[in-house]
Amino acid sequence: MAEYRIDDLARAAGTTVRNVRVYQDRELLPAPRREGRLAIYSDAHLVRLRMIINMLGRGYAFAQIREMLSAWESGRSLADVLGLEEVMGESWAEQSPRVYSLSQLREMFRGQLNQQNIRRAIELGLLERWGARFVAPSPQLLDAGSELVRLGVPLAEVLELAEQLQSDVDHVSEALVSLVRTHVLAPADTAWDDSEVQRYTEVVRRLRPLAMSALNAAAARSAERVIPDILGDRLVALLRDEEDPGAAG
């Protein structure tokens, strides 16, 4: 089980340290474990924090959220909330994080991994520090970046592409999920009961493969169109030069 300091927890949930403290003060988030003066949070805190953020986004007030959480914790619908927390907390990636040494990363990126590029990769979430080593939450992204560098693309530009790609994919994912939220999920002023929790859990479970399938299919179709469009003129020129070697002179 992962452990987080408060700033790491806030970053993982996409919120601020101030908000984490507010949710604790409002008794929405359980207190952390204490090791001396250090507050240690767990994966359970991260899952709960993401749920709180989601409920706030749907329009629920602090008092409503606290009432629902209290009811769940008392056992009235504990099975449902555990199922919901589980599905909200599951990783959507079909891959496991991978640990790298600095020398391994430098070899992957042909010596271009200087301190500036390391800081940039950490800012983008492509790498996380783990003592003297690094963790890649998505090894597939790292492998794709390494292949681009091997093809001759400078690492600094690969990192800029990674930021743009993440932003574009986030936009598409948000559009898809917003449609489901608008047309499928009950509005925020609907009474929250066991059936709503079960429905919410089922929708999230079905969204996972739907989002992945839609994004993968769209990316494949885009690659089929874009690669020939952008590289086609180079291929035509190459074939023309092979047919008439003297043309280039």
> Could you read off the pLDDT of 110-142 as tens digits, one per residue?
889 999 999 999 999 899 888 788 988 888 899
User: Which of the residue ranges 50-54, 72-76, 218-222 would you say has the lowest mean pLDDT?
Assistant: 72-76
- For residues 75 and 117, membership in a common domain is answered with no
Question: Which range marks the domain in which residue 21 is found?
Answer: 3-89
- For residues 98 and 179, membership in a common domain is answered with yes
Q: How far is CA 200 from CA 1, 35, 82, 180, in A?
A: 26, 36, 12, 11
CB atoms within 10 A of CB 132: 7
pTM of the model: 0.57
pLDDT in tens, 9-26: 998 888 999 999 999 999
Average model confidence (pLDDT) for the chain?
A: 81
Domain end marker among 69, 89, 109 = 89
Determine the pLDDT at residue 219.
86
Would you say residue 239 lies in a domain? Answer: no
- For residues 175 and 98, membership in a common domain is answered with yes
Determine the pLDDT at residue 78.
40
- For residues 177 and 98, membership in a common domain is answered with yes
Would you say residue 171 lies in a domain? Answer: yes
Domain end marker among 73, 89, 105 = 89
Distance CA 164, CA 59 (A): 30
Find out whether 141 and 94 touch, Cβ atoms under 8 Å. no
